[in-house]
Amino acid sequence: MSDATQNSGLPKLTIDIGPLFEDQWTGIPVFTRRLVQALLRDGSLDLEFAFRMTKIPRESVVGALRCGSGVLLRSEFERGAGKSYPLIDPYATLLFPSVKECFNATRREASTVHDVSTLVMAENHVPENVDHHMRNLARELASDDVVFCVSEASRAALTVAYPSIAQKARLLMQYVDWPAEFETLERNLSPPVLGRYAAVVGTIEPRKNLALLLRALALPEIRDSDIRFVVIGKTGWKVEQFMAGLTPQEREHIVFSGFVTEFMKYRLLRHAEFLVYPSIYEGFGIPALEAMSLGKPVLCAMTSSLPEVVGDAGIYFDPLSASEFAAAFAEISDAGRLAELSSKARVGSNAFGWARMAKPVVDWVKGIA
Amino acid sequence: MQTQGPTVISVPARELANVAVPGSVFEIGILRGSTISPELRVAIELIAAIDSNHSVSSSVRCIARPEIFTHGASLDWLMTQIEGVTDHIALSDGTALKLIPGLRNHLFTYGLQSHRRFIDFKKLTRRAPELLGQFHSQINSFHRVSIDGLAFEPAPWLLNRHEFSVSEPVWFHDLYLNPHSLENSAELMLGWGTLDTPSFEAFSKIRYVPLTDCAARDEQFQHIVAELIATTYFEPGVCLLMRLPLATSDLTERMRLALGGIRGAHRSIPQTRANNVFFTSGDLGDDVLSELAPRLSLLLHHSFDHWRHPKSVYEASEEIAVFLDRQWTRVSDAAKKLLTEAFGQSPQFILSARSLDVDGFPE
Amino acid sequence: MFRGHIDSVTSLGFIEGWAVDQTQPTRMLEVAIRVDGEVVARGFALLFREDLMNAGCGLGWCAFRLRLDVPVERVREALVELIDHESGIVIFSRQELPLIEDGEVPASSIKILVEGDPTIIKGLWQLRQCEHMLMDFIRRHGVETFIDAAYAYVLGRAADHAGRLQYTRCIRQASLSPVGVLEVLGDIDEFRSKVRQLASPKSPAFPFG
C-alpha cells in the first residue's frame, strides 16, 4: 500500500510550515495560516506538518494557529526538541506555501509564488533581495509538480518569464477572516467622530505609491472635498520629508495612524467611506479584500492583481496620473455611487473563502487537476 | 528597419526618477526634456530618428511601467491607451527585461557599461532565459541565451547615427601610475593640469580605448589594456588615449576606477609621467576621430555603446578590435554581421579566456 | 465558578460591570444581559479596571461595557440578569440599575481612537495580576520558552543568548518573577525607543495564554 494514505484513509499532504515560525505574522505567514486552517476545515486530506524536512507535531502547529504567533513553535524547535522529530516521508506529497528551501526532497512537490516583483521590477529591490528570490527560482519551478500562484496576475507574470511552466501553474487565492469577536467588540464601542475619511494602504516606498496621493492633495477634487485620508500602518521612511513639502491645508487632509493592531485596522476600515489602494504592483492585495468584506469599495490602481480582486466593487485609475486619481476620487465620493459600490463590495468579498483556497490544493493532492 | 508599425518604448524605472510623468503613457518629448542618463538620451534620440525618417507614427510614446499591466483588465486598459501600436522597444539597463503581451517586443540594452548592471543582466538571462528568447529582435546587440540546450538569439539589427555630433570639450591628462597609491597617482595627474589637445602630428599610430565601468573591472580586459600601456611607453611614435569611465561625475573617482583596473592586471608599468599615454575626460569627438582615423586603432570593450559614434568614424579607422565576454565558444555570425555593418569593416574579435561567473555556477 | 456584577447603565445606553470565570480567569468570557428573557446586550468581559486588578478579580481584565439594544428606561426598573452567553448560567442579577452620565468621550482623532484600543495594554503594570498565568505557562512550556516568548512579546525579537541565560537563571533562582522579567524588558532603552503595542491578556495574541 502506498504511503499516500494513512490509517485515516485520506490522501496525505505534508505542508512545510516554515513561514509560521515568524514571531509576528503578516503577509506570507498569514497566508500560510489561512491555508492550513482552510485545509483543516476542508477535512478531506490527512495533514502533516514539517519544517526543513522534519515533522512538526500537529498540536504544536494548532497551538501556534491559536495564538497567532510562531514564538512557541520556533522556541520548541530550536530548544533541541527538533532533534527528536522524525524526518518526513520521502514519498510524501509536499507543499511549500512560499518559496522552497530545498528541491526534490520528496517525489511530489509544489511551491507557491506570491510576488514576482524581484523579477519584473528588480529596480525596486535591493540586490540581495533580488538574489535571494531569483537565485533558485528556475530550479524551484522545474522541481515542482505544480506551481501555485496567489493571483492570476502573478501567474501571468510568471508564465511570461517561464512559458514552460504554464501547464502546471495553478491559482491559490486567499480570503479574509476577521476574528469573530471583532464585530462584537466594535458594536460595544462608541463610534468614532472623525468626519468622513478614506482609509489608505500605502507607504512612500515607490511600489506602494503613496506619493501619488500626496501629489493629488493639491488638486481641487481632493483639496475641496470633506473627505480626509487616514493612512493605516507604520509611518515608514521618508514620510516626514514628503509631508514637509505639503502646504498646511494639504497636511490637514492626511493623517497617519502609525502601527495599529488588527482590531484597530478593522475599526478604521469599518468607519471609512472607502479604501484607497494606489500600489503600482501587488501580488494579491489582501487589504482590498479586507475593506470589501466590511462593505467598503476600493479606489484602486488599475494594475497587476487589483482588478481581479476588486472586480466591480471599485473605481480604477492610472497609478501614475494624479489627475486621473482625482477624477476617480470625485466619482467614488458621490453618495449614490458609493452606495452602489458598497453592495458590490460584500458580494465580491464573499467570492473568496476558505473552500476556494482549499480546493486547488485538494484537487492537486487527489490528482484531479 | 524591424518595427512594423506604430511603436512604443519603455525605459528602466530608475530613469523616471526625475521625470514628471503625467501618466503611464506619455509622449517621448517629456523624456527628452527631463534629466535622464546620457546613455539613455543617446538611445532614445536614435529611436526618435527612426520615427522621423520613416514616419511610423506622429510621435513615439513611452510606457512608464509596462510590467504592472500584467493581464486581464489592466492589460486591456493599457491596450486602449496605445491603440493601434504594434511594436514595443524595451530599453533595458540590464536589471529587467520587459515584454508586453500582444506586441512585437524588441530589446535595446543601453546601460551595460555599468559592471553592476552587466552582472545583473547576465544573472537575469541565466535565471530566466525564456524572457530574452521571446523578444522578436534586439537593437545594437547580439545577446544569446541557452534554453534546454538550444541557443536563442533575437535577431540583431543596427541603429546608429549617421551625422557627426559636435565635440564637447575634452581634457587630456598624462598618465602616471603609482601602484602603491591610486590616490597619489590621481592627485599628481590632476596637479599637473590638463592639456587641451595633444599634438597628434608626432604620432604615427593612435590607440583609443574608451573605458567603461564594466571594462575597468574586467580583469581579463585590463590585462590587455595594461599591456598596451606598458608597450606604448616605449613607443614614442605611438599614442594611447583612454577615455575615463563615465560612471560618475567625480573626476578623481573616475581616475581611481581606471587606475585600479590597470593596477589589478599586475603588469609592470614605468612609474613615471607618460608623454604619450593619456586619460581623456570624455568621448573624443566624431570630428577628432575622423581626423585621426587613418592612424586610429580602436580597442572596444563589449560594454561600450558602439553607437555613440557614427559609422563614418569607424570605417575610416585603421583597425578595430572588440573584446567580448566568452559566453560561447565562438562569436556568432549575427554578432560579426552586426558589428561589421556598424563599423563598415570587419573587426578583430578577442574573446575573454573565461566567462564572468555569476551565481557560482560555471557557464 | 462565575463571579460578576452589573454596576450601572449609562446615559448613552451602555451597561457596565464585570464578570470572570474563576476556573479559567484567562478565558475571554462572552456575557449577555437579559431582561424578561430577552437578550438586550452582548459582548466580552475583557476591559481593564485597576480596582478589579487590585482586588484580584480576573487578572483585572474582566470589565465589560455593552451597548443596549433597547432604550435605557427598559432596563432601569426591570430585573436585569448577567449571564454567561455560552452556558446561559446566570452570573448576577439585580433590579433598579443606577443611571450614570456616560464618561466616555467618542474618539475625535485617530490618536484617541488608537489609544482606546481594548486589545492592548497601556503599560506592563497592567499585567501585575498575571503572575499565576505566567507561572502556569512556565510549567507547561519551560523557563527558556517563557524567556523566548517574553522577548518576542515585549521587544518583538528573538531572545539573545546572554539575555536568555540571565533571565532563565533569575527565574530559577526566584530573584525575578515572570512579571518582573516582562517589566525589566519594558524598562530598557530598546523598548522605549520602539513604538510597540502589546496585546492584552484577553487577546488571542497574548503569547502566555
pLDDT in tens, A151-203: 999 999 999 999 999 999 999 999 999 999 999 999 999 889 999 999 998 77
Q: Are C156 and C67 within one domain? A: no
Count the neighbouring beta carbons within 10 Å of the beta carbon of residue C2: 18
Distance from CA of A107 to the nearest CA of B (A): 23
Distance from CA of B12 to the nearest CA of A (A): 8
Q: Are C95 and C22 within one domain? A: yes
Check CB contact of A156 with chain B, cutoff 8 Å. yes
Round to whole Å and give the CA distance between B105 and B90. Answer: 7
Nearest chain B residue to A310, by CA: B73
Confidence of residue A4 (pLDDT cuts 50, 70, 90): very low
Angle at C35 between CA C33 and CA C39, to 5 degrees: 50
Average pLDDT over residues B173-178: 91
Contacts of residue A76 in chain C, CB cutoff 8 Å? 141, 145
Interface test with C, best of A190, A266, A269 (most C CBs within 10 A): A190
Cα four-point dihedral sign A317, A322, A324, A328: positive
Q: Are C177 and C133 within one domain? A: yes
Contacts of residue A193 in chain C, CB cutoff 8 Å? 106-108
Q: What is the DSSP string of C28-72?
A: -EEEEEEETTEEEEEEEE-EE-HHHHHTTSGGGEEEEEEE-SS-H
Contacts of residue B120 in chain A, CB cutoff 8 Å? 122, 127, 130
Distance from CA of A159 to the nearest CA of C (A): 37
Q: Are C125 and C82 within one domain? A: no
pLDDT for position A194: 93
What is the value of ipTM here, to two decimals?
0.93
Across the interface, whether the CB atoms of A258 and C28 are under 8 A apart is answered no
Q: What is the DSSP string of A114-133?
A: ---HHHH-GGGS-HHHHHHH
Number of domains in chain C: 2
Residue C105: Cβ-neighbour burial (10 angstroms; 0-12, 13-18, 19+): exposed
Beta-ladder partners of B9: B62, B89
Contacts of residue A268 in chain C, CB cutoff 8 Å? 110, 113
Q: What is the mean pLDDT of chain A?
A: 92
Amino acid at B43: A
Domain ranges of chain A: 12-175+353-366, 181-350
Q: What is the mean pLDDT of chain B?
A: 89
Q: Are C119 and C148 within one domain? A: yes
Least Cα distance to B255 among B169, B197, B170, B175 occurs for B175
Cβ pair C179, C128 in contact under 8 A: yes
Cβ neighbours of residue A232 closer than 8 Å, sequence gap 6 or more: A199, A200, A201, A257, A260, A265, A268, A269
Interface test with B, best of A99, A113, A117, A121 (most B CBs within 10 A): A121
Average pLDDT over residues B213-218: 94
Round to whole Å and give the CA distance between B350 and B331. Answer: 9
List A residues 98-117 in contact with B (Cβ-Cβ < 8 A): none
pLDDT for position B359: 65
Cell (9 digits) for B337 = 554581421
Last residue of a domain, one of C74, C100, C126: C100
Q: Are C88 and C140 within one domain? A: no
Cβ pair A159, A343 in contact under 8 A: no
Contacts of residue B67 in chain A, CB cutoff 8 Å? 120-121, 157, 281
Q: Which CATH class is domain B7-157?
A: alpha beta
Least Cα distance to A19 among A11, A27, A8, A7 occurs for A27
Check CB contact of A239 with chain B, cutoff 8 Å. no
Sequence-ordered alpha helix ranges (H) in C55-177 = 72-76, 110-115, 131-141, 143-154, 161-172
Across the interface, whether the CB atoms of A305 and B70 are under 8 A apart is answered yes
pLDDT for position A28: 95
Task: Choose among A131, A305, A321: nearest Cβ to B22.
Answer: A321
Kindly report, as residue ranges, where domains of CATH 3.40.50 are found in chain B.
7-157, 172-351
Across the interface, whether the CB atoms of C113 and A185 are under 8 A apart is answered no
Average pLDDT over residues C147-166: 91
CATH homologous superfamily for A181-350? Glycogen Phosphorylase B; (3.40.50.2000)
pLDDT one-digit tens code per residue, C47-70: 999 999 999 888 999 999 999 999
Round to whole Å and give the CA distance between C33 and C79. Answer: 10
Confidence of residue A7 (pLDDT cuts 50, 70, 90): low
pLDDT for position B323: 94
Check CB contact of A319 with chain B, cutoff 8 Å. yes
Distance from CA of A339 to the nearest CA of B (A): 23
pLDDT one-digit tens code per residue, B29-72: 999 899 999 899 999 989 887 765 544 344 689 999 999 999 99
Nearest chain B residue to A162, by CA: B130
Round to whole Å and give the CA distance between B144 and B151. Answer: 7
pLDDT for position B360: 56
Record the pTM: 0.92
Domain CATH number, residue C88: 2.60.40
Q: Are C127 and C183 within one domain? A: yes
pLDDT for position A233: 85
User: Phi and psi (nearest 5°) for C96?
Assistant: 60, 75
pLDDT for position B346: 95
Task: Choose among C28, C120, C148: nearest Cβ to A71.
Answer: C148
pLDDT one-digit tens code per residue, C143-153: 998 999 999 89
Nearest chain A residue to C114, by CA: A264
3-state secondary structure of B282: coil
Q: Are C14 and C85 within one domain? A: yes
Q: Are C187 and C126 within one domain? A: yes
Hey, which chains touch A, using 3+ CB pairs under 8 Å?
B, C
pLDDT one-digit tens code per residue, A227-254: 999 999 877 767 788 788 889 988 889 9
Check CB contact of B120 with chain A, cutoff 8 Å. yes
Across the interface, whether the CB atoms of A261 and C197 are under 8 A apart is answered yes
3-state secondary structure of C8: strand
Q: Residue C77: which domain range?
A: 2-100
Least Cα distance to B114 among B40, B30, B6, B57 occurs for B40
Contacts of residue A305 in chain B, CB cutoff 8 Å? 70
pLDDT one-digit tens code per residue, A311-338: 999 999 999 999 999 999 999 999 999 9
Cβ pair B155, B136 in contact under 8 A: yes
Task: Choose among A76, A230, A261: nearest Cβ to C117.
Answer: A261
Please report, rounded to a whole number, the percentage of residues in chain B having pLDDT higher than 70.
94
Round to whole Å and give the CA distance between C50 and B350. Answer: 82
Count the neighbouring beta carbons within 10 Å of the beta carbon of residue A45: 20
Check CB contact of B127 with chain A, cutoff 8 Å. yes
Across the interface, whether the CB atoms of B67 and A320 are under 8 A apart is answered no
Q: Are C33 and C85 within one domain? A: yes
Confidence of residue C17 (pLDDT cuts 50, 70, 90): very high
Task: Choose among A69, A188, A258: nearest Cβ to C65.
Answer: A188
Interface test with B, best of A120, A139, A141, A162 (most B CBs within 10 A): A120
pLDDT for position B198: 79
Q: Which fold has domain A12-175+353-366?
A: Rossmann fold (3.40.50)
Confidence of residue B321 (pLDDT cuts 50, 70, 90): very high
Confidence of residue A82 (pLDDT cuts 50, 70, 90): low
Comparing A6 with B210, which gets the higher pLDDT?
B210
Across the interface, whether the CB atoms of B128 and A307 are under 8 A apart is answered no
pLDDT for position A84: 73
pLDDT over 80 (residue B247): yes
Across the interface, whether the CB atoms of A69 and C205 are under 8 A apart is answered yes
User: Phi and psi (nearest 5°) for B213?
Assistant: -60, -40
Average pLDDT over residues B118-135: 93
Contacts by A338-344, CB closer than 8 A, 24 or more apart: A338/A273, A338/A274, A338/A297, A341/A274, A341/A297, A341/A312, A341/A313, A341/A314, A341/A315, A342/A295, A342/A296, A342/A297, A343/A295, A344/A297, A344/A311, A344/A312, A344/A313
pLDDT for position C209: 81
Across the interface, whether the CB atoms of B120 and A127 are under 8 A apart is answered yes
pLDDT over 50 (residue A1): no
Across the interface, whether the CB atoms of B68 and A280 are under 8 A apart is answered yes
Angle at A121 between CA A115 and CA A124, to 5 degrees: 95
Average pLDDT over residues A245-274: 92
Please report, rounded to a whole number, the percentage of residues in chain C having pLDDT higher than 70.
100
List C residues 50-69 in contact with A (Cβ-Cβ < 8 A): 64-67
Name the CA radius of gyration of chain A, rounded: 22
pLDDT for position C179: 96
**Is B172-351 in CATH node 3.40.50?**
yes
pLDDT over 90 (residue A76): no
Q: Is residue C208 domain-resident? A: no
Across the interface, whether the CB atoms of A161 and B74 are under 8 A apart is answered no
- What is the spatial order of strands in the sheet that B296-301 belongs to? B172-174, B277-280, B238-243, B205-210, B296-301, B319-324, B348-351
pLDDT over 70 (residue A115): yes
Across the interface, whether the CB atoms of C144 and A255 are under 8 A apart is answered no
Contacting C with CB below 8 Å, chain A residues are 23-24, 66-69, 71-72, 74-76, 79, 179, 181, 184-185, 187-194, 230, 255, 257-264, 267-268
pLDDT for position A239: 79
Kind of pairing between the strands at A197-200 and A228-231: parallel
pLDDT over 50 (residue A3): no
